[in-house]
């Protein structure tokens, strides 16, 4: 493994110059999934599994959006905003972390939450992340998906008429500013792998609004450009598991656009045909966003019962189910190592109690 620390790279120094409002508990742990790997190898070939615990970022239960919000909050403050407005599904993990980030930063928080999940239990709109949103002091507007744009504009007009300055954060915090959080995550993870002297063949994570994957990919490409050809070949490949988009190409195009914007912001020149590094797996999507498949539920139970780590039914559970399916199909050997990036979401589990509780 090439011994090039992120702090000594151009991409590391350029990223360090970006305005940032510290929120997360960093670095998040990188841990072996020893019991799970042992269990899987009793059934056939399986890679050595590790997990990057971005569910442990803090901030009202943690999750991947906290890294993005560090850069978004800094930008909002620099522009003189006193109110953040953002968007998500009813049980949005991003909305919960935004509400908590605003509380810490002394900003008002406006959440436009849409009823995107078709099958919901009776208290779906009162428990889980929705409860935590309210506890953190956010103002919630619940609406149907087709009405979200108008509802947001009406609410923003009301706020601005009363003298508030609103800063809009896109769904998932996924723009070229928020995605900087996952360039930072990639560099952090690379340093951990160097410190532990671990080679890694694949990074796997849930992909939805594209910011996490775009940031990670930009970080990988930036590192590759500073390493020798031999050393760059040792970098892991990045696999995003599509948990939202009915058409995979929609997500791929979003990642391509966003990765390009992040690279431009950091002054990185991406290599020719870099888009071939956008790898997606949509096999775990099932009938749609927020609706867990039986494989999702099995994955959640398996990781909880072998490692005591909680996944969620909409994001990390589906991503882990896709990884387990690939292992079952023989996609990896015992000689390989895979890191699963846990993007969080366990705070939503009470909203799925009817689904998760065995009959």
pLDDT tens, residue by residue, 284-343 = 999 999 999 999 999 999 999 999 999 999 999 999 999 999 999 999 999 999 999 999
Domain CATH number, residue 323: 3.40.50.1100
Predicted local confidence at residue 316, as pLDDT: 98
Place of tokens 């906290």: 66
pLDDT at 42 over 60: yes
Residue 92 designated active-site: yes
Place of tokens 């020798």: 228
Angle formed by the axes of helices 211-224 and 180-196, nearest 10°: 50
Q: Residue 297 domain-assigned?
A: yes
Q: Residue 16 domain-assigned?
A: yes
Last residue of a domain, one of 112, 138, 173: 173
Predicted local confidence at residue 134, as pLDDT: 97
Chain center to CA of 241 = 11
Q: Which domain holds residue 267?
A: 6-62+176-356
In a shared domain, residues 244 and 269? yes
- Residue predicted with more confidence, 285 or 230: 285
Considering its fold, how many domains does the chain have in total? 2
- Residues with Cβ < 8 Å from 249, sequence gap 6 or more? none
Q: Residue 281 domain-assigned?
A: yes
In a shared domain, residues 118 and 203? no
In a shared domain, residues 303 and 319? yes
In a shared domain, residues 286 and 337? yes
In a shared domain, residues 79 and 44? no
In a shared domain, residues 54 and 69? no
DSSP three-state, residue 156: helix
Predicted local confidence at residue 4, as pLDDT: 66
Residue 128 CB burial class (10 angstroms; 0-12, 13-18, ≥19): buried
Q: Predicted confidence band at 228 (pLDDT cuts at 50, 70, 90)? A: confident
Predicted local confidence at residue 235, as pLDDT: 93
DSSP three-state, residue 345: coil
Q: Which helix (H) or strand (E) holds 284?
A: none
In a shared domain, residues 295 and 151? no
- Residues with Cβ < 8 Å from 219, sequence gap 6 or more? 11, 182, 183, 184, 185, 186, 187, 190
In a shared domain, residues 189 and 287? yes
Percent of the chain with pLDDT over 70: 97
Q: Comparing C-alpha atoms, which of 65, 315, 306, 302 is closest to residue 204?
A: 315
Q: How far apart are CA 317 and CA 240, in angstroms?
A: 13
DSSP three-state, residue 337: strand
Find the catalytic residue in 92, 207, 208, 282.
92
**Helix, strand, coil % in the chain, rounded to nearest 5:** 50, 15, 40
Segment 82-96 shows an average pLDDT of 97
Strands 48-53 and 202-207: unpaired
Percent of the chain with pLDDT over 90: 91
In a shared domain, residues 153 and 217? no
pLDDT at 2 over 60: no
Q: Residue 57 domain-assigned?
A: yes
Q: Residue 119 domain-assigned?
A: yes
CA atoms within 13 A on the CB side of 224: 18
In a shared domain, residues 220 and 84? no
Q: Residue 268 domain-assigned?
A: yes
Q: Predicted confidence band at 1 (pLDDT cuts at 50, 70, 90)? A: low
Q: Residue 48 domain-assigned?
A: yes
Ramachandran bin of 121, using left for φ above 0, alpha for ψ from -120 to 50, beta for the remaining angles: beta
Q: How far apart are CA 203 and CA 193, in angstroms?
A: 12
In a shared domain, residues 148 and 106? yes
Q: Comparing C-alpha atoms, which of 167, 159, 140, 190 is closest to residue 9?
A: 190
CA dist list (Å): 339 to 31, 47, 55, 131, 192: 9, 10, 14, 32, 12
Last residue of a domain, one of 138, 173, 208: 173
Q: Predicted confidence band at 357 (pLDDT cuts at 50, 70, 90)? A: confident
pLDDT tens, residue by residue, 110-168 = 999 999 888 667 789 999 999 999 999 999 999 998 899 999 999 999 999 999 999 99
Q: Residue 1 domain-assigned?
A: no
Per-residue tokens: 115: 């009823």
Predicted local confidence at residue 232, as pLDDT: 87
pLDDT tens, residue by residue, 243-268 = 999 999 999 999 999 999 999 999 99
Quote the mean pLDDT of the chain: 95
Q: How far apart are CA 125 and CA 348, in angstroms?
A: 11
Chain center to CA of 301 = 21
Last residue of a domain, one of 120, 152, 173: 173
In a shared domain, residues 116 and 33? no
């Amino acid at each position: 493994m090439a011994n090039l620390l992120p702090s000594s790279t151009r991409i590391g120094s350029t990223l360090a110059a970006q305005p940032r409002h510290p929120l997360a508990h960093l670095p998040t742990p990188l841990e072996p999934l020893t019991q799970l790997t042992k269990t899987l190898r009793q059934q056939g070939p399986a890679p050595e599994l590790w997990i990057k615990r971005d569910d442990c970022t803090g901030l009202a239960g943690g999750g991947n959006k906290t890294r993005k919000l560090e850069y978004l909050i800094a930008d909002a403050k620099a522009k003189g905003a006193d109110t953040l407005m953002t968007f998500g599904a009813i049980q949005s993990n991003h909305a919960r972390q935004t509400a908590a980030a605003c509380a810490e930063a002394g900003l008002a928080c406006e959440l436009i939450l849409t009823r995107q999940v078709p099958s919901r239990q009776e208290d779906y709109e009162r428990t889980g992340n929705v409860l935590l949103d309210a506890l953190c002091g956010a103002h919630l507007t619940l609406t149907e998906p087709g009405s979200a744009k108008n509802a947001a504009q009406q609410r923003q007009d009301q706020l601005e008429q009363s003298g508030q300055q609103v800063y809009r954060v896109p769904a998932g915090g996924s723009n070229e500013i928020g995605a900087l959080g996952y360039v930072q995550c990639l560099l952090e993870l690379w340093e951990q792998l160097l410190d532990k002297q671990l080679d890694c063949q694949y990074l796997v994570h849930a992909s939805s609004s594209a910011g996490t994957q775009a940031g990670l990919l930009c970080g990988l490409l930036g590192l590759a450009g500073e390493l020798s050809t031999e050393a760059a070949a040792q970098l892991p490949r990045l696999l995003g598991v599509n948990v939202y988009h009915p058409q995979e190409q929609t997500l791929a195009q979003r990642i391509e656009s966003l990765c390009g914007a992040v690279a431009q912001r950091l002054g990185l020149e991406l290599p020719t045909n870099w888009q071939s590094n956008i790898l997606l797996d949509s096999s775990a999507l099932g009938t749609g966003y927020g609706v867990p498949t039986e494989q999702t539920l099995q994955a959640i139970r398996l990781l909880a019962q072998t490692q005591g780590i909680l996944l969620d039914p909409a994001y990390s559970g589906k991503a882990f189910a896709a990884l387990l399916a690939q292992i079952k199909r023989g996609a990896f050997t015992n000689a390989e190592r895979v890191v699963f990036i846990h993007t969080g979401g366990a705070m939503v589990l009470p909203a799925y109690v009817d689904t998760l509780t065995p009959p």
